[in-house]
Structure formats: C-alpha cells, structure tokens
Structure 1
C-alpha cells in the first residue's frame, strides 16, 4: 500500500516539474522583442530573430535582452556597396569598432550594449546586411537584416 502512495506522489511531482519545464522552454523559443520596443533581441549568444526583414527607410531597433554585454557591428564587406556602415557606438568602420571594443584604456568597452540597452539604425539602401556581436563572434553570434524596396 505504501508503494502505491509513493509512486503516485513521484508521478505527480514529475508531471508538475515537466509542466514547468515545457512552459519555460516555450518562452525561450519565443522572440524576445514584441516590435513595440525592439525588433531584434539578443540572448546570451544569439540575435533573435537571426534574420529580420525590413523595408527601405525603416528603423530597426536591437535590444540586449540578456545579462551579457553585446555589440551590433556590421560586417563591412557584407553590406550593400552604397549602404552606410553601422555599429553600436557609432563607429565608421569594422576596424574602428574592433579597436574601440579592445581598447584597454577605456573603462567601458566601445560600442557596448548592456542589459536592456538598445541600438537603432535606419536602412536607406535595399539589400542584405550581415552583422555580428564582437565579444561573441567566436560563438557565431551573427544576424542579417534583409531590406526590400
């Protein structure tokens, strides 16, 4: 008789535990930005969504939705030829963005987006724009914005 009570209690505990895990998992799979305050969120090592579609003239907002520091840094050779370069911190080139992040004299890393910080850029030229996060480039934290007419 005790065995049946024990198994019932264990079964109930496992069911409750798994229900909590599955709801937490579904939250993790959701896009962290609703579009009201941002379009692209940043998890620990991922832009969410990885690919975002916009139209010419749209302003796209990235938001650091994680506890890690991030950057939004365009790959200079992977944006349309006539497009303006973009990087959090306002740098004019990929090299300048790298240099600012790695500058040991700065108390804060150049281009750093802390938790809940945002960065925005207006896209004026159609095409595909590939970008990355400097501190998480090795973890392949990359994304793209596809801009159409």
Structure 2
C-alpha cells in the first residue's frame, strides 16, 4: 500500500536502495527542451542567463530525488517565488519536503518557471542543500 512512498524515501535518502545517477545534462545546447539538468548532487549548468519572459525548464536527469526551490531572500523583491510543488515560500516548501517529500522531482520529472522580473534568482535542492546543490538564474532585460 505504501510501496511508492517507501521507494521515494529510499531514493531521496540516497541510501543503498538508491541508484546514484551519473548522467549529465546532455541537453544544454544539445537538447533545446531542457535548460538545466540535475546530477546526483548538482545542477548542470549551475548558472543560466535568460531574458525577461523566458521560461527555464529543469529536468531530473539522475536517479536521486530533487527539488527546485527559490531561496528565502535570494530573488528580486518584485519577483514571484518559485518551487517544484508550487509552494508560496521557502519555509512552506521545506516543511512539505520534511513532512512527506513535498515538491519531489523524481528521475525524468520536469519543472518550469517563467521569469518576468530582471535580476539574479538563487535556488536550491532542499534535500541536497547541505551538499552544495544550488544554482542561479540570471534574468536580463
């Protein structure tokens, strides 16, 4: 009955039950429908630059579970917060992840966000934040 939840948790924890993916983001420049891939513990590329109105697409290209979550205070003042799972702020996204893997992106899952305000946007993978999995979207006019 709870098989999927167990498998999600085992994969998210990166334990023995999880297979650590080493596939890179072959698509940055080679696959136009994905801008950022997710390796086992890194976004690839770590930084992308787009124009106002552009949509960035992240794809989990590894076997580990990830999130895409804007950091508290890491986006321009007038910008819309973004997070896989559709949360309104970082604290809510973190609480949802801690409670039941809210915002999870499993292997091959995608998340996209359209950027309407220029500036630098910092984001993290909640389960791999301590390991340094963070990225930046720079939005230019």
Are 1:40 and 2:36 matched, yes or no? Answer: yes
Question: Which of 125, 128, 137 pairs up with 1:136?
Answer: 128
Give the C-alpha shift of residue 37 in structure 1: 2.3
- Over the aligned positions, Cα root-mean-square deviation in angstroms equals 1.5
Task: Report the counterpart of residue 60 of structure 2 in structure 1.
Answer: 64
Give the C-alpha shift of residue 36 in structure 1: 2.1
Listed as ranges, the gaps of 5+ residues in structure 1 are: 1-27
What's the TM-score once normalised by structure 2's chain length?
A: 0.80
Task: Report the counterpart of residue 110 of structure 1 in structure 2.
Answer: 102
Task: Report the counterpart of residue 14 of structure 2 in structure 1.
Answer: none
Distance (whole Å) between structure 2 residues aligned to residue 134 and residue 38 of structure 1: 21
- Contact kept, 8 Å, 2:68 with 2:83, in 1: the verdict is yes
- Contact kept, 8 Å, 1:59 with 1:120, in 2: the verdict is yes
Runs of 4+, deviation exceeding 6 Å: none
User: Which structure is larger by alpha-carbon Rg, 1 or 2?
Assistant: 1
Listed as ranges, the gaps of 5+ residues in structure 2 are: 1-21
What's the TM-score once normalised by structure 1's chain length?
A: 0.76
Change (3 A) 1:95 1:30: closer
Aligned positions, number: 118
Give the C-alpha shift of residue 76 in structure 1: 2.1
Distance (whole Å) between structure 1 residues aligned to residue 45 and residue 122 of structure 2: 13
* Secondary structure, counterpart of 2:130 in structure 1: helix
Task: Report the counterpart of residue 54 of structure 1 in structure 2.
Answer: 50
